[in-house]
Chains A and B, each alone.
Chain A
């Protein structure tokens, strides 16, 4: 049983790490603000769930698990809100999302 929990927890931690990496890569490589935000939002949604979930499995039924759950709830409430506020601010400042085929960024050329 402990073995199974350990394996599950490591799978979750590794998958979370991979999602953080993909999010970072996307934030660097995507062509414009909205697509980059889309990539970066991976890190604080699915990656946060997986990593904190993995740590919770390691912590077992202790007070630490409840604290981690509270942190997870806080992250799940605030991160999407921050993304929303960022996107609204971008729209308000006049940055329209591009339509049609994506053009490469200027600094890539």
Chain B
């Protein structure tokens, strides 16, 4: 049954990908990209990767669609035809496809217990999570504690990406709310649309609350800082879409957002340094409390909070960088 669902979803993925390539309207392509991400999230869920599915749905289908639309508002809606050598492109794609298909012959079957990926450190993590960290969601244990260095790296990748976008896009426009006045029409948001505005205002607090739930429930179920950051950011983006850029920047000024971007990464690093000062290794949370397991809990909650804060800050900064920019 799962195989049937999987084949169905993968077939839809291929169809969507072809539609994205074929579509000449960039607007349609952006919406199709959102559908692609949603299908991908369903696929991840079928593979029992609920945490990844949540991230893909929140970031891929939700926020990146909005960011793409923001970018489209600055440029054109239609693809410009480029004269390229189609035969060359077709040849490269065909050869790569054949190579990838050839490589899959060596791949172990999905979920094969003898596959190398199941033999390496995976079993050790699953076995020791209950003993060393004692939280039900092994994904959070691996991500936050066993593989804390990797996650720290990911947070700094997100941080760097945010800084990069700000450098590229914020050169011209000021960031104070009064500077945006009259830059372009959407400053009023959707205030003249009664229905979306009423429903949106009703939903925003609940989306925010759900974000906090995902943030702090990550130890017990799917969720954590990355997903929660995306959900919290989407509630603020919804507010900006409904009430206008200006109101959103008044509520959460760029100054605060920049502090969030740096503060989250700083909090993560500080937890690591605190471990060192208390006599452990960098990012070793066991020394944070008298009981090692309680220390692990404190450490994971703090670093997840840091991840959530940075992701929220970066996504909102990128959104504002696109939305507050005048038409070029």
Query: Do A and B assemble together?
Result: yes
Q: Number of residue pairs across A and B with beta carbons under 8 Å? A: 16
Chain A residues closer than 8 Å to B199, beta-carbon distance:
77-78, 81
Chain B residues closer than 8 Å to A77, beta-carbon distance:
199, 202-203
Q: Which chain B residues in 175-202 approach chain A with CB under 8 Å?
A: 193, 195-196, 199-200, 202
A78 to B203, Cβ gap below 8 A? Answer: yes
Interface residue A84 (Cβ < 8 Å from any Cβ of B): yes
Instruction: Tell me the minimal C-beta distance from A77 to chain B in angstroms.
Output: 6
A85 to B203, Cβ gap below 8 A? Answer: no
B203 to A88, Cβ gap below 8 A? Answer: no
> A74 CA to B207 CA in the complex, in Å?
10
Chain B residues closer than 8 Å to A85, beta-carbon distance:
193, 195-196
Chain B residues closer than 8 Å to A81, beta-carbon distance:
195-196, 199-200
The secondary structure that dominates the B interface is helix
Chain B residues closer than 8 Å to A78, beta-carbon distance:
199, 203
Chain A residues closer than 8 Å to B202, beta-carbon distance:
77
**Apart from A78-B199, A78-B203, A81-B196: 13 A-B pairs, beta carbons within 8 A:** A74-B203, A77-B199, A77-B202, A77-B203, A81-B195, A81-B199, A81-B200, A84-B195, A84-B196, A85-B193, A85-B195, A85-B196, A88-B193
Q: Which chain A residues in 66-109 approach chain B with CB under 8 Å?
A: 74, 77-78, 81, 84-85, 88
Instruction: Tell me the minimal C-beta distance from B65 to chain A in angstroms.
Output: 13
- Sorting the interface of chain A by its residue count into under 10, 10 to 19, 20 to 34 or 35 or more gives under 10
Q: Which chain B residues in 7-39 approach chain A with CB under 8 Å?
A: none
Instruction: Tell me the minimal C-beta distance from B287 to chain A in angstroms.
Output: 36
> A28 CA to B193 CA in the complex, in Å?
28
Chain A residues closer than 8 Å to B195, beta-carbon distance:
81, 84-85
Chain B residues closer than 8 Å to A84, beta-carbon distance:
195-196
> A78 CA to B196 CA in the complex, in Å?
9
Chain A residues closer than 8 Å to B203, beta-carbon distance:
74, 77-78
Instruction: Tell me the minimal C-beta distance from A51 to chain B in angstroms.
Output: 15
Instruction: Tell me the minimal C-beta distance from B242 to chain A in angstroms.
Output: 11
> Which chain A residue lies CB-closest to B202?
A77
> A31 CA to B196 CA in the complex, in Å?
27
Interface 1/0s, chain A 42-85, versus B by CB < 8 A? 00000000000000000000000000000000100110010011
> A78 CA to B200 CA in the complex, in Å?
8
> A78 CA to B234 CA in the complex, in Å?
15
Closest 6 CB pairs of A and B: A81-B199, A84-B195, A85-B196, A81-B196, A77-B199, A81-B195
> A74 CA to B199 CA in the complex, in Å?
10
Pairs across A and B, CB under 8 Å, 5 listed: A77-B203, A78-B199, A84-B195, A84-B196, A85-B193
> A78 CA to B201 CA in the complex, in Å?
12
> Which chain B residue lies CB-closest to A77?
B199
> Which chain A residue lies CB-closest to B207?
A74
> A81 CA to B195 CA in the complex, in Å?
6
Chain A residues closer than 8 Å to B196, beta-carbon distance:
81, 84-85
Q: Which chain B residues in 139-196 approach chain A with CB under 8 Å?
A: 193, 195-196
Chain B residues closer than 8 Å to A88, beta-carbon distance:
193
Q: Which chain B residues in 201-215 approach chain A with CB under 8 Å?
A: 202-203
> Which chain A residue lies CB-closest to B194?
A84
Instruction: Tell me the minimal C-beta distance from B115 to chain A in angstroms.
Output: 32
Instruction: Tell me the minimal C-beta distance from A75 to chain B in angstroms.
Output: 12
> A84 CA to B199 CA in the complex, in Å?
11
Instruction: Tell me the minimal C-beta distance from A90 to chain B in angstroms.
Output: 13
Instruction: Tell me the minimal C-beta distance from B38 to chain A in angstroms.
Output: 14
